[in-house]
Amino acid sequence: MSTLVFQLSVILFAARFGGILFKKMKFPSVLGELIAGIILGPSLLGSIPIPFLFENGLFPQVEGALIPVEPELYAISTIGSIVLLFLAGLETDLKLLVQFSIAGVMVGFGGVIFSFLIGALTTAWWLHIPFSDPRVLLMGVISTATSVGITIRVLSERKKVGSPEGITILAGAVVDDILGIIFLSVVLGIATLSRKAGQQSNQNQLFEVGMLIFRAVGVWLGFTAIGLLLSQKIGSFLKYFKNIGTISALALGLALLLSGIFEKAGLAMIIGAYVMGMTLSGTDLAKVIENALHPVQEFFVPVFFVVMGMLVNIKEVISPTVLTFGFIFTIGAVIAKVIGCGIPALGLKFNFLGALRIGAGMVPRGEVALIVAGIGLSSGFLDQQLFGSAILMTLLTTIVAPPILNVILTDKKGSLKELEKGELVETDFDMTSPYLVELLSERIVQSFVSEGYYVNTIEDEVKIYHFRRERSTITLFVEQKKLRFENDTTDTIFVKNIVYENLVRLNDMINQVKDLVKPAELKQELIEGEISTDFDVKKVLSTDCISLDLQSNTKNEVIKEMIDILFKNGKISDPEAALEAVMERENSFSTGMQNGIALPHGKSDSVERLVVSVGIHRKGIDFQSIDGKSSQIFICAVAPKKISGPHIRFIAHVGALLNTREKVDELLRCSTKEEVYSFFTET
């Protein structure tokens, strides 16, 4: 067990460092995690002996095993892939997608078909094996699924996410995932059959393959249909538990259950996880579960990608044969998407440039390709050469896409005139506070949903939401202190209205909280109660810091004078900073209490511990006290910001000490600093 624990620890660190490094280089962090895995894996650093601890290395080479990592580690990484696909499914609201993006469906469909065919044919040609060979079919599936994260980032830098091309790519990628999952179902069915049958007679094969395809699609379609039908029921069942932790744990439990069922049915676990996600995507729990499972994902999913990298045997991959095939396979994968997505796009009234952009945007492969390659390797259908080629293709397609996109993303229009109903404009809302952005953005997304919009969430440096309904498509970029919309000119008024309505509601909520808070009322009771006996005023007050005759005439001047006393006696290093802190607190709510006392205070790093000055102003100064009378006694306290120590405790103590008029009069009768000192220290 200690090996697993060390491995997980190293993987968590490597994944983060790899991810951050690649993010800095503007690549998806997945690539960094994958490469960290390759470097740490058994074929490179992993098998280097660590004396006394791991004689065969931390990730030792396992001879002859299909999966060169320990089963416990592989199990955790598999759960990672289930969590990943469950969350992907949660974001896919199928009904709305089909309703709102025929273009996306067509482009996704074209891309998947071409990618599958070219990927499979390339493999068949290179290995001289028949098309029906499981290796051929799996390599075809690996080539299907697009991962558009990096495309969206490039588009977003050029402010083109909301362009017709960008919108079509976003929808296409979702379709892509679904179709990839169906293809995987079919291919796994065929592969399992071919393994069972061994070298069977050829005669009934076509029929059997047909049946298999029918069955695999049937299982998928069956569960998807059941899921969509029961989704509200399942949602109500989960909601019965109220607690978000329980709801998300049970939702994950359901995803695991369906994963198991799909695996038992000869399909892949991730298909079950995805179907369960899709089932819940239509319920209002989708966002809740997504948020609750986010930290679980943060732990499991990077483990998955690092382990995928570890499965690569770099010594076998870096051979002329594998590299040659890897490059051919990559070129095929690029061409397949450009043509497969481009042709439907041309038919949908995009011009040549637009079709090219859509095709190029769909080129990067990612998570799903890795998962399918891993399934292929672990089930023994793929060998290291093919697995390595698939990993190489995933890496290269992601690296190659951004520069191509940057070249073709000119200002020229990519779509024919009739497709567009207006100019794309930006509508910005400056918020100046990240807190407000957070408060508002979630509500706004919810509003779009309740206006009947389909929401596509893309997490990147900034969070991007893509809303779509009939012919209206709006993109929202949630930036640090800004909400930025990209929308058609004809939607600008709608966008403004939706932000406005949410501001109004937020304003309402704030007013309600304000009504409840009522600090003014509480202030009345602040000094009612017994005095605490264990505060030692000697530690914070010295006779030097007592003034019997304050010179000031206004509130601001008094506070400045009290701070100056502290400064002159060497108690504070930076009087301006201290004054600012005390004034800031004072301006929120006056510290003038009843009976003529005022307790200005603040936290500032210009002191190293709590320091106090006491001043008496016989005539009295208006300090906006509770009873409206002028204040004659001022106790000014400055405490350090960072170090823990009494601050409010002191204020409570002196407040309680002076809670009757008699006590205040007693203090006012003092004629020397020593008497004042004794008053505070000997009561």
- Rounded least distance, CB 153 to a second copy, Å: 17
Pick 179 or 247: Cβ nearer a second copy: 247
State which residue, 133 or 488, has the beta carbon closest to a second copy: 488
Residue closer to a second copy (CB basis): 37 or 361: 37
Query: What is the nearest approach in angstroms of a second copy to the Cβ of residue 375?
Result: 10
When the beta carbons of 640 and 673 are compared against a second copy, the nearer one is: 640
Q: Residue 675 Cβ, how far from a second copy at the closest point, in Å? A: 25
Strand order in the sheet with 463-469: 424-430, 482-488, 472-479, 463-469, 454-459
Residue 101 or 144: the one with the smaller Cβ distance to a second copy is 101
CB of 443 to a second copy, least distance (A): 12
Of 128 and 196, the one with the shorter C-beta distance to a second copy is 196
Q: Tell the smallest beta-carbon distance from residue 494 to a second copy (Å).
A: 4
CA distance 597 to 623: 9
Q: The tokens 């209490």 sit on which residue? A: 593
Distance of CA 629 to the CA centre of its chain: 54
Q: What is the Cα Rg of the chain in Å? A: 34
Closer by beta carbon to a second copy, 125 or else 500: 500
Closest separation in Å from C-beta 13 to a second copy: 5
Pick the closer one to a second copy by CB: 568 or 641.
Answer: 641
In the complex, least distance from residue 458 CB atom to a second copy, rounded to whole angstroms: 17
Shortest spacing between CB 612 and a second copy, in angstroms: 15
Task: In whole angstroms, give the CA distance from residue 341 to residue 346.
Answer: 9
Instruction: Residue count of the chain, please give it.
Output: 683
In the complex, what is the shortest distance from the CB of residue 73 to a second copy, in angstroms, rounded to a whole number? Answer: 8
State which amino acid sits at residue 351.
N
Distance CA 610, CA 603 (A): 9
Query: What burial class does residue 418 get, using C-beta atoms within 10 Å of its C-beta: 0-12 exposed, 13-18 middle, 19+ buried?
Result: exposed
Tell me how far apart the alpha carbons of residues 393 and 400 are, in angstroms, rounded to a whole number: 10
Closest distance to a second copy from the beta carbon of 651 (Å): 6
Q: How many CB atoms lie within 10 A of CB 523?
A: 17
CB of 279 to a second copy, least distance (A): 15
Backbone angles phi, psi at 570, to 5 degrees: 70, 20
- The token duo for 421 is 């109903």
Closer by beta carbon to a second copy, 222 or else 529 = 529
Closer of 131 and 435 to a second copy (Cβ): 435
Q: Is the Cβ of residue 315 or residue 641 nearer to a second copy in the bound state?
A: 641
Measured distance CA(124)–CA(142) in Å, rounded: 14
DSSP letters spanning 354-402: HHHHHHHHT--B-HHHHHHHHHHHHTTSS-HHHHHHHHHHHHHHHHHHH
Taking a C-beta distance cutoff of 8 angstroms, is the pair 130, 124 a contact?
A: yes
Rounded distance between C-alpha atoms, residue 258 and residue 327, angstroms: 37
Could you tell me which of 495, 461, 501, 493 has the C-alpha nearest to residue 475?
Answer: 495
Taking the C-alpha atoms of residue 184 and residue 142, their distance in angstroms, rounded to an integer, is 9
In angstroms, the CA 304 to CA 306 distance is 6
The identity of residue 525, as a single letter, is E
C-alpha to C-alpha distance for 19 and 28, rounded to whole angstroms: 8
Closest residue by Cα to residue 361 from 514, 163, 71: 163
Check: CB of residue 508 under 8 Å from CB of residue 494.
no
